[in-house]
Structure 1
Amino acid sequence: MKKIIPSSANTSAHQPGAFTTALRPIVIAVMASLASTTMAQDIDNAEPDTHTVVVTGSTNYSGPVNTPATIETVTVKELSDTTNVMNIEDALKYFPSVMVRKRFNGDTNEPVTSRTTGVNASARTLVFADGVLLSTLVNNNNGNGSPQWFMVSPEEIDSIDVMYGPFSAAYAGNSYGAVIQLNTRMPKQFEATVKVNVSKQNFDLYNTRKSYKSGDLNATIGNRQGAFSWFISANHLDSFGQPITFGTISQSTKTATGALPVITGAISDFNRTGGAIEVISAGNIAHTIQDTAKVKLAYDLTPQTSLSYMLGFWQNSAKTQVTTYLNNTSGVLATPYYGAANGNVNIGGYSYSASSIAGQFSSNNTQQEHWIQSLALDSKNNGTWDWNAVVSNVRYTTDLTRSSTGIYPTAMITGAGRITDASGTGWTTVDAKASYRPDANQSQHILSFGIHADQFKLVSPTYNTTDWLNGSTGAVYTNSLGKTQTKALWLQDEWHISPTLLATLGGRYEQWKALNGYNYAIASNGTGFPVNQPSVAHNGFSPKATLAWKANDLWQITGSVGRALRFPTVGELYQNVQTGTTYTQANPYLKPEDVTSTEFAFERKTKESRVRVSVFGELVSDALISQTSTITGYATPVSFTQNIDKTRQRGIELVAEKDNAFISGLQLSGSLTFVDALILANSSYVPTIAGATSIGKHTPYIPDWRATLVATYRPDTKWAYTLAGRYTGRQYATVDNTDINPGTYQGFESFFVTDVRVHYQVNRQWSVSAGIDNLNNEKYYLYHPFSQRTAYAEVKYTY
């Protein structure tokens, strides 16, 4: 691994390779060329649009509501040809300005990012499957707030839509990042599929050099018999992941004296703030076994009205390991070293506390069982009235994480630890919506309206145990409980002002409250402190407006503005967590984020091409962002969510597509996004180092540049060859941007990866595919080290 020497506190010490450095102008040039080629080559073969007005959005699959915002879509056929998909979240790889933080196959902590939201803000994006909420709005982080992606298997998918911005009144303020709709299919006749997918990653970082394999088996079966249809899917994943954490200790300045044990194997490096460290271990090396099963039933009560029910189950059994890089060479034979309860050791001529070393070694095992179900009644008359109602529930019947606290190697097989039990966590949502066309499809006004209610419940006690692998729970170590509830009414009017001008006006009124908050923690003196947290409540109105002008048969110009209120999650309000040496403090007095978003989109579309330029802006008052600092009375750093007074994000996004580009069968598509994201005011900031400030600093976790470029060549109906690239620019993890060294564990650095895939449709029943993600073997960090070059192979049978 390359060594990085930090420079000044205001500049990044990470020096990317020449290829990555040159990427930005190359991508800009390619995208500009693609856009200009698209416009020039299609100016003569443009097909007049048969509709008088084109709405920027498309019909919402979860109900009869049009979405007045920019939407990007991918179909199952496009995914099959172009994308290496092991888990459903892989399908979002090439969407403009979107990234899912997937660290390895089987990862369960996978928040999604959008134009103006980052990997620590899972509650700023909504994820649905057929109108059922998969977003885990019990928290807003990259851990237990991540969406329940695993509840949907890739073989269920018909298409995926991503809607950008909070411009539809039908969605809560959490939509200000994006709304992702996973649209699954129901069979029209008997069908069955079986797919086997395997992968192999070669990982090489520090002293870890190993291959990690994964295998996935997916099967579906379904049929339609008259008015009744059914669909069953099952998925089994067995995955080995690379290390996602590293044990580190600060470089000692104390010279080793006396006959201290000599320890070798430590690797000198720098942490993200530029401090000298020694890397001593690789941790959280997970072996994950997951199973998903789902049943969907539908019955047509009338030709226009259907009743459907869905029941899904997911289980996860994950075990992690830790590997030491250290060896004790003081004896006759060198032996692996894990630290000790007391004493000091000699590493490189300096003295280190053996207990500090021991604190870097820990393992955890997880056992989870989650259930999801929904009941929906849907009417699609395409006449005066359309309506939809859906009730859904997600419940964690089992969610246990067992962690060791003892000293290795004994802790590998027994010893003290802690058990965190999130069983009972879950949420329930109720949505009813309708659309009214006074004169059927000739109406000048189309009214949509609806009601919404939800409740999110967090259960998260942690217990001490004498046997972290198999023991029962002992005394309570910490506890966090609480609920949030929301009730909402919304109304939206599509006003066809003229054959070429469409205005969409709407608003959403919400009443929100948090209640039953409770925390328990043990102070350093051993005294327990129970706290009944106060209930809090907020309400507010969020207006929306969009104006779309169909300038001619090729061009449409759309302007949108909308307010969004993103209420705090129960975890932000009430959850205390201690992770390593960092303590996360609950804050029950948080105010909702108040967001004003705008977008101006210029889109040109022909039969074989599309170009869109979107200029967007976002002003957030009381932004909820986690900050970390040392506070009087706490021995360890405290991470706490605070309302940052004001942040501003503004940028531009270019999206282009071209079929039969240069040669027949070649499809090019790509996107380029630039975001200028700044903190404008932050009265709650506590300096982490002397002279530091957060004013004028880059908003955390939002990259400055993002780009995708996908080329797919289909010489005939059987073969598809794809080469794709993904680029994400520099981002910061701290409000004062003091993480100046991104190319290290816990740093956030720019990266560029290329992917390839070959798909061959043997016949109607059989298809085979092979591909490689991260072909150029980019080694990069987004806090954790991400997957390196990974090969995929896939075989699918369809009856």
Structure 2
Amino acid sequence: MKKITFTHTTKQGHPRRMSTSLRPIASAVLACLAGGTMAQGLDSAEAADTHTVIVTGAGQTSSVMNSPATIETVTAKELSDTTNVMNVEDALKYFPSILVRKRYNGDTNEPVTSRTTGVNASARTLIFADGVLLSTLVNNNNGNGSPQWFMVSPEEIDSIDVMYGPFSAAYAGNSYGAVVQINTRMPKQFEATAKLNLSTQSFDLYNTSKSFKSGELNATIGNRQGAFSWFLSANHQDSFSQPITFGTVTQSTKAATAALPVINGATSDYNRTGGALQVISAGNLNHTVQDTAKVKLAYDFSPQTHLSYALGFWQNSANSQASTYLNSANGAPYYGAASGNVNIGGYSYSASTIAGQFSSNNTQQEHWMQSLELDSKNNGAWDWNAVVSNVRYATDLTRSSTGLYPTVMTSGAGRIADASGTGWTTVDARATYRPDGNQTSHVITFGIHGDQFKLVSPTYNTTDWLNGDKGTLYTNSLGKTQTSAIWLQDEWRINPSLLATVGGRYEQWKALDGYNYAIASSGTGFPVNQPTVTHHGFSPKATLAWKANDLWQISSSVGRALRFPTVGELYQNVQTGTTYTQANPYLKPEDVTSAEFAFERKTRESRVRVSLFGELVSDALISQTSTITGYATPVSFTQNIDKTRQRGIEIVTEKDNAFIQGLQLTGSLTFVDAVILANSSYVPTIAGATSVGKHTPYVPDWRATLVATYRPDAKWAYTLAGRYSGRQFATVDNTDTNPGTYQGFQSFFVADARVNYHYNRQWTIAAGIDNLNNEKYYLFHPFPQRTAYAEVKYTY
């Protein structure tokens, strides 16, 4: 069994909670506690036998393909003992430097952050489930570029591996943040499971004070009969979210006249740049009902050759509404009006501006996933593997209201966004050659790759947003990207203690069939057929790993990565006030040079890893404010930023039987110095502002975790965990100086707890609490407050 190394990529806190001065202390305490206890036992002369973290060379046990880089792993058993898992992405909660931006159970917009990438950069991480790409590389954001996590149910998990950095030639440049591989299980004999998972969140912020509940039911069944094995899983989830957005209006400076109607209920606050505002509503109160079903089939032609097929289906029915904080003098709820002004706190506000803060939307989605894999492992001169996968949006409709509340809740005009037809196909084939069988000093691996990503995203006007047909076209962005690649990697055993891995990847990329449509303020529609664009490049990789003795390993890695633009980045419509300006199909690929220098010391019961890492990115694709020819006011859109630099240190520690038998402590501490070095296209948002020398957006400076799990016997496991994340910025000029508010990005410290009881072989019962200390914090959106979990599982 491999051990997990726990670290935290965390979110950020709220100024009304833990004192700002205590957060760095909390981080230091986490690190010191972990480091101090894990130092015990490091003098043992025994070689580590289970703590596989830096995986190099042939014979690796990790499923991350051909990786000479740092890898962390967690198993299903460890997750059951330590982690409150409602959705599969919860399993990444305690990985070093990893954060999934999960806002509520059932959230479908959940990108992953890594050491050097943030929550708005979904295309800088690759996520796979049994070789099927779950990363939605049709965009690079925290919306329609978020991964298809829901295609995997938690009860399928066998283990999860995370690889850090673009040091394997087997993966595209999108791996420069990380590669996440979810490995699911196939049965060895007849098996069946049923699991019920419940949660309730107590949320109290502004004028919302309420509990929000979620429930999930999962069942699996499978068997192996000779050479044939099969596995079925089904998952049903019903969940309610806390407010995800808040309606706000800028603080008025115009005094109200006596004749204006008085409106009560607003709360004074400040936006993320320090401007005064009034909070008037809670928005995006989501109710989601989701179902996942999957079948996996496998056949063994021989003990060495296997064929497998998987088919998955996911559906989501969701609705989102707003709730007003405002009321009129007679106590009736107030939602604004089409015209006129009102008196809030003695100042005059436009009723139509208030009305614009209220909207609803309904979503209906049906996504399909399938894959076919042929694999041969002969333990001789040749191994080979081929896999084809496809993800397709059969239905993806979002209906949004545009009329006045509360009438629009039952009828009225709106828009229909239709992403049906979006999807991607990937093809990979690889082979491994050992000239002298398993005794060789060289292991040569090579392969080919092909993919196509297609984005379909028209939006239509409709006279009835709830049930009406599509009307006139409002906007449209279409396009495809295609990549073909060939790669080769040689693992050279120079001597018994020294292993070099050298490789490279050559890629050809094309963007084609780009199309945009937008309506100008005059009402005239403008269709644009975008040109075909191509890029190509070579990405060399190299790693040298030295096994100094039975306890120590030292490795050094360097690699180049080319991250080509996604369809959404290329063909997005840019809004300039009431006008849409056509997209820029000439964005350049991100050109990344990464390096890592890692030390690891392992004994039978302890482990310490220290990784020094650095990254230079040329032409980084980041949204920033700039000017567009012919329009006077600067607007925000994705651009190439000349150069950014990220460098830092990651410390991971682990100790079994710390202080007492059965107590396991794991912890991590990450520091990143992320800076914009050059940005020739920047336009100041305020007088005197600059982006050069400022912190790269969305990358926290500090992160830390500590997880303590006590197993007094084989039945019980008690876990207490802490997660910390430091300050981050959302703007290239770091002008968002007030993070403790809606749309701000805060530091935060969160404690979690879990108790897991294996009653017998069939029954397992667990209970836990996430955010035990009830930290109230924002990562743009307000994140979950104290949430209690209860689960019961039956295994046949």
TM-score if structure 2 supplies the norm length? 0.96
Residue type of the alignment partner of 1:151: M
2:773 corresponding residue in structure 1: 776
2:724 corresponding residue in structure 1: 727
Residue type of the alignment partner of 1:313: F
- C-alpha spacing 1:207/1:764, structure 2 compared with 1 (3 Å): same
CA drift of 1:487 comes to 0.2
1:312 corresponding residue in structure 2: 312
Residue type of the alignment partner of 2:290: Q
- Which consecutive unaligned segments of at least 5 residues does structure 1 have? 1-11
1:402 aligns with 2:399: yes
For residues 324 and 278 of structure 1, the distance between their equivalents in structure 2, rounded to whole angstroms, comes to 12
CA drift of 1:381 comes to 1.1
Output one character per residue of 1:217-259: Cα deviation in whole Å (capped at 9) or x when no partner.
0000000000000000000000000000000010111111241
Output one character per residue of 1:583-618: Cα deviation in whole Å (capped at 9) or x when no partner.
796321100000000000000011111100000000
Give the 5 Å matches for 1:79-158. Answer: 79-158=79-158
1:559 aligns with 2:539: no
Give the 5 Å matches for 1:269-348. Answer: 269-329=269-329, 333-348=330-345
Output one character per residue of 1:548-581: Cα deviation in whole Å (capped at 9) or x when no partner.
0001110000000000000000000012276999
- Which consecutive unaligned segments of at least 5 residues does structure 2 have? 1-11
1:487 corresponding residue in structure 2: 484
- C-alpha spacing 1:783/1:675, structure 2 compared with 1 (3 Å): same
- C-alpha spacing 1:732/1:439, structure 2 compared with 1 (3 Å): same
1:570 corresponding residue in structure 2: 567
CA drift of 1:19 comes to 5.3
Q: Kindly indicate whether the alpha-carbon contact (under 8 Å) linking 1:196 and 1:215 is maintained by their aligned counterparts in 2.
A: yes
Residue type of the alignment partner of 1:505: V
Name which of 357, 362, 371 aligns with 1:360.
Answer: 357
- C-alpha spacing 1:353/1:52, structure 2 compared with 1 (3 Å): closer
**SS of 2:467's equivalent?**
coil
Q: Kindly indicate whether the alpha-carbon contact (under 8 Å) linking 2:63 and 2:161 is maintained by their aligned counterparts in 1.
A: no
CA drift of 1:631 comes to 5.3
1:372 corresponding residue in structure 2: 369
- C-alpha spacing 1:55/1:473, structure 2 compared with 1 (3 Å): closer
1:384 corresponding residue in structure 2: 381
Name which of 759, 763, 767 aligns with 1:762.
Answer: 759
- C-alpha spacing 1:346/1:514, structure 2 compared with 1 (3 Å): same
- C-alpha spacing 1:53/1:495, structure 2 compared with 1 (3 Å): farther
1:172 corresponding residue in structure 2: 172
1:231 corresponding residue in structure 2: 231
Residue type of the alignment partner of 1:243: P
For residues 480 and 513 of structure 2, the distance between their equivalents in structure 1, rounded to whole angstroms, comes to 6
Name which of 692, 703, 706 aligns with 1:706.
Answer: 703
1:748 corresponding residue in structure 2: 745
**SS of 1:645's equivalent?**
strand
Name which of 439, 442, 449 aligns with 1:445.
Answer: 442
- C-alpha spacing 1:20/1:186, structure 2 compared with 1 (3 Å): farther
**SS of 1:265's equivalent?**
coil
CA drift of 1:334 comes to 2.1
Q: Kindly indicate whether the alpha-carbon contact (under 8 Å) linking 2:40 and 2:655 is maintained by their aligned counterparts in 1.
A: no
2:257 corresponding residue in structure 1: 257
CA drift of 1:20 comes to 5.4
1:470 aligns with 2:467: yes
- C-alpha spacing 1:317/1:628, structure 2 compared with 1 (3 Å): farther
Q: Percent of counterpart pairs with the same letter?
A: 81
Output one character per residue of 1:304-341: Cα deviation in whole Å (capped at 9) or x when no partner.
10111000000000001100011111xxx221111111
Q: Kindly indicate whether the alpha-carbon contact (under 8 Å) linking 2:55 and 2:70 is maintained by their aligned counterparts in 1.
A: no
For residues 637 and 292 of structure 1, the distance between their equivalents in structure 2, rounded to whole angstroms, comes to 44
For residues 284 and 268 of structure 1, the distance between their equivalents in structure 2, rounded to whole angstroms, comes to 21
Name which of 622, 647, 654 aligns with 2:619.
Answer: 622
2:9 corresponding residue in structure 1: none
For residues 434 and 670 of structure 1, the distance between their equivalents in structure 2, rounded to whole angstroms, comes to 37
For residues 51 and 149 of structure 2, the distance between their equivalents in structure 1, rounded to whole angstroms, comes to 36
Output one character per residue of 1:103-122: Cα deviation in whole Å (capped at 9) or x when no partner.
00000000000000000000
Q: Kindly indicate whether the alpha-carbon contact (under 8 Å) linking 1:304 and 1:381 is maintained by their aligned counterparts in 2.
A: yes
For residues 685 and 587 of structure 1, the distance between their equivalents in structure 2, rounded to whole angstroms, comes to 16
1:665 corresponding residue in structure 2: 662
For residues 158 and 52 of structure 1, the distance between their equivalents in structure 2, rounded to whole angstroms, comes to 16
Give the 5 Å matches for 1:528-539. Answer: 528-539=525-536
- C-alpha spacing 1:584/1:741, structure 2 compared with 1 (3 Å): farther
Q: Kindly indicate whether the alpha-carbon contact (under 8 Å) linking 1:677 and 1:698 is maintained by their aligned counterparts in 2.
A: yes
For residues 195 and 370 of structure 1, the distance between their equivalents in structure 2, rounded to whole angstroms, comes to 24
- C-alpha spacing 1:49/1:664, structure 2 compared with 1 (3 Å): closer
For residues 62 and 663 of structure 2, the distance between their equivalents in structure 1, rounded to whole angstroms, comes to 34
Give the 5 Å matches for 1:670-689. Answer: 670-689=667-686
- C-alpha spacing 1:542/1:421, structure 2 compared with 1 (3 Å): same
For residues 60 and 523 of structure 2, the distance between their equivalents in structure 1, rounded to whole angstroms, comes to 54
1:183 corresponding residue in structure 2: 183
Residue type of the alignment partner of 2:718: Y
- C-alpha spacing 1:14/1:33, structure 2 compared with 1 (3 Å): closer
Output one character per residue of 1:117-162: Cα deviation in whole Å (capped at 9) or x when no partner.
0000000000000111000000000000000000000000000000
Residue type of the alignment partner of 1:249: V
Name which of 577, 582, 593 aligns with 1:596.
Answer: 593
For residues 538 and 169 of structure 2, the distance between their equivalents in structure 1, rounded to whole angstroms, comes to 10
Q: Kindly indicate whether the alpha-carbon contact (under 8 Å) linking 2:696 and 2:732 is maintained by their aligned counterparts in 1.
A: yes
Q: Kindly indicate whether the alpha-carbon contact (under 8 Å) linking 2:230 and 2:296 is maintained by their aligned counterparts in 1.
A: yes
- C-alpha spacing 1:179/1:53, structure 2 compared with 1 (3 Å): closer
2:5 corresponding residue in structure 1: none
Q: Kindly indicate whether the alpha-carbon contact (under 8 Å) linking 1:252 and 1:352 is maintained by their aligned counterparts in 2.
A: yes
1:797 corresponding residue in structure 2: 794
Q: Kindly indicate whether the alpha-carbon contact (under 8 Å) linking 1:655 and 1:672 is maintained by their aligned counterparts in 2.
A: yes
CA drift of 1:633 comes to 5.5
CA drift of 1:51 comes to 14
CA drift of 1:785 comes to 0.2
For residues 618 and 587 of structure 1, the distance between their equivalents in structure 2, rounded to whole angstroms, comes to 26
Q: Kindly indicate whether the alpha-carbon contact (under 8 Å) linking 1:584 and 1:640 is maintained by their aligned counterparts in 2.
A: no
Name which of 537, 544, 551 aligns with 1:540.
Answer: 537
CA RMSD of aligned residues (A): 2.2
2:195 corresponding residue in structure 1: 195
Q: Kindly indicate whether the alpha-carbon contact (under 8 Å) linking 2:269 and 2:277 is maintained by their aligned counterparts in 1.
A: yes
TM-score if structure 1 supplies the norm length? 0.95
For residues 178 and 402 of structure 1, the distance between their equivalents in structure 2, rounded to whole angstroms, comes to 34
CA drift of 1:260 comes to 1.1
Q: Kindly indicate whether the alpha-carbon contact (under 8 Å) linking 2:521 and 2:578 is maintained by their aligned counterparts in 1.
A: no
Residue type of the alignment partner of 2:160: I
For residues 774 and 579 of structure 1, the distance between their equivalents in structure 2, rounded to whole angstroms, comes to 40
Name which of structure 1's ranges 386-395 and 27-36 shifts more when overlaid on structure 2: 27-36
- C-alpha spacing 1:75/1:582, structure 2 compared with 1 (3 Å): farther
1:433 corresponding residue in structure 2: 430
2:8 corresponding residue in structure 1: none
Q: Kindly indicate whether the alpha-carbon contact (under 8 Å) linking 1:167 and 1:546 is maintained by their aligned counterparts in 2.
A: yes
For residues 629 and 68 of structure 1, the distance between their equivalents in structure 2, rounded to whole angstroms, comes to 40
1:77 aligns with 2:77: yes
Give the 5 Å matches for 1:418-429. Answer: 418-429=415-426
CA drift of 1:698 comes to 0.3
CA drift of 1:748 comes to 0.3
CA drift of 1:59 comes to 6.2
For residues 643 and 393 of structure 1, the distance between their equivalents in structure 2, rounded to whole angstroms, comes to 30
Name which of 632, 649, 652 aligns with 2:649.
Answer: 652
**SS of 2:263's equivalent?**
strand
- C-alpha spacing 1:726/1:283, structure 2 compared with 1 (3 Å): same
**SS of 2:541's equivalent?**
strand
Q: Kindly indicate whether the alpha-carbon contact (under 8 Å) linking 1:328 and 1:337 is maintained by their aligned counterparts in 2.
A: yes
- C-alpha spacing 1:654/1:188, structure 2 compared with 1 (3 Å): same
Aligned pair count? 785
